[in-house]
Amino acid sequence: MTDPSLVGPLELQRLALGQIAARVDSLSRRVPALGARGGRWAGPARDAYNAKLLEIARLANEAHGAVIAARGCVDRAIVAVINDVR
């Protein structure tokens, strides 16, 4: 049987992961906003820069997805521990 003392640390992780998810979400929104504007640069340099920004935005989205997934797993783990104890 699962040790019920696991619930406390899992709850702590769940709470912290919620905060981190919000921070990473905010990060993932900032990067595309930079690429959306025109300006002094033009042609290939601008295209290459925008491609790099897209790559950074993809990494930020991936990180956000992984944090959300981790939080989902922790949620399920808490439910599983509680059910097991019952």
Partner 1 sequence: MSGDYPTTDDLVISGGGRTAIASDELFEHAHELEKVGIESLSCARQLASVDGILDGARLRATQAPSSAYEAEAAMATATATLAELEREASMVARLLRLSADAYGGAERFAADAMHELGARLGYAVGFFLPVIALAVAPSVAVALGGALVIASLSPGGVRGFVGGIGEWLRGNRRALTDPMNVALVKLGVSSADDFGAGLVRMPPGVVQALGDDGLGVLGTTTTAATVALVGQQFGVFAETPVTARRVSRETGSTPPKTIVDRIDRLPDTGENTYGEQIVIDRIEVPGQPDRFEVYIAGTVDFTSVGQSEAFDMTSNVYGVADLPAGSYRATQMAMEQAGITRHTPVVLTGHSQGGLIAATLAASGDYDVRGVVAIGAPTAHVDVPASIPMIAIEHTDDLVPALSGMRTDSSAILVERRAYAPGAELGDSPLPPHEKSAYRVTAGLVDRAHDDTVREAIRAMSYRGEATVTTTSYLAERVP
Contact set with partner 1 (CB under 8 A): 1-3, 5-6, 9-10, 12-13, 16-17, 19-20, 23-24, 27, 30-31, 34, 37, 39-41, 49, 52-53, 55-56, 59-60, 62-63, 66-67, 69-71, 73-74, 76-77, 80-81, 84
Residues 6+ apart with CB under 8 A from 74: 10, 13, 14, 17
Name the minimum Å distance from CB 60 to partner 1. Answer: 6
Q: What is the distance between the alpha carbons of residues 47 and 41, in angstroms, rounded to a whole number?
A: 9
Place of tokens 């921070």: 23
